[in-house]
């Protein structure tokens, strides 16, 4: 009676058949059935199968990220939300969770019929590592708008984190609700790439 040997070589699935002696006892049909059975029953023993890798990729692609929105915030804060006529109030412009901020010019608007700007000061955020900065301000008291220019100087990187960009001191002149807003915030990193930012505004009531 004949003997049939099957050999499997690695991941390639190369199948070789060695025929020692088949004689007339095994027909061509029987040989075909033996080969078919051998191929179906072979399980690769090396490496990862294509089906398992594909399944893993689909699982990864379907994973839902729970990462929160981390867009930096520019917000305004006042020392008080309600003041009386003649009193002084300080408005602080702060930035939160920003990365590599190098330049941060913006326009601050206010109600000139209610408030008089008496002082503008630079915050310490852009120079907290001891690097030099350029700061200037130009106030249009009739329009109620202050143009702020603020930037680091030289071949230095930006600043990451949270802190104060500038403070504004006002004296109230008459009663009413004074709204503060930020226009044209052109925040950029050291490569002069724009940094998107979310602006949160505030207001003060003068009694």
Report residue 91 as tokens: 């408005």
- Do 46 and 77 reside in the same domain of the chain? no
- Do 84 and 134 reside in the same domain of the chain? yes
Report residue 68 as tokens: 């929160």
Question: Whose structure tokens read 């008459």?
Answer: 174
- Do 109 and 11 reside in the same domain of the chain? no
- Structure confidence by residue, pLDDT tens digits, 149-199: 999 999 999 999 999 999 999 999 999 999 999 999 999 999 999 999 999
Give the range of the structural domain holding residue 188, as residue numbers without chain letter: 73-206
- Do 100 and 50 reside in the same domain of the chain? no
> Does residue 15 have a pLDDT over 50?
no
Which candidate, 167, 199, 203, 170, places its Cα nearest to that of 185? 199
- Do 121 and 162 reside in the same domain of the chain? yes
Give the global pTM. 0.67
User: In degrees, to the nearest 5, what angle opens at C-alpha 74 toward C-alphas 118 and 165?
Assistant: 45
- Do 93 and 160 reside in the same domain of the chain? yes
């Amino acid at each position: 009676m004949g003997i049939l040997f099957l050999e499997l070589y690695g991941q390639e699935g190369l199948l070789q058949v060695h025929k020692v002696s088949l004689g007339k006892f095994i027909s061509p049909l029987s040989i075909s059935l033996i080969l078919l059975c051998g191929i179906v029953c072979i399980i690769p023993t090396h490496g990862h199968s294509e089906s398992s890798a594909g399944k893993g990729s689909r699982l990864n692609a379907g994973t839902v990220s729970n990462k929160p929105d981390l867009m930096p915030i520019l917000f305004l804060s006042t020392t008080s939300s309600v003041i009386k006529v003649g009193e002084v109030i300080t408005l602080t412009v702060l930035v939160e969770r920003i990365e590599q901020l190098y330049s941060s010019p913006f326009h601050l608007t206010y109600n000139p019929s209610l408030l008089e700007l008496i002082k503008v000061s630079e915050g310490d955020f852009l120079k907290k590592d001891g690097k030099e900065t350029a700061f200037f301000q130009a106030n249009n008291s009739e329009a109620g708008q202050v143009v702020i220019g603020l930037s680091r100087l030289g071949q230095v990187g930006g600043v990451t984190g949270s802190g104060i960009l500038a403070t504004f001191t006002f004296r109230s002149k008459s009663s009413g609700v004074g709204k503060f807003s930020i226009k044209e915030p052109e925040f950029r990193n050291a490569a002069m790439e724009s940094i998107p930012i979310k602006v949160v505004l505030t207001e003060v009531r003068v009694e």
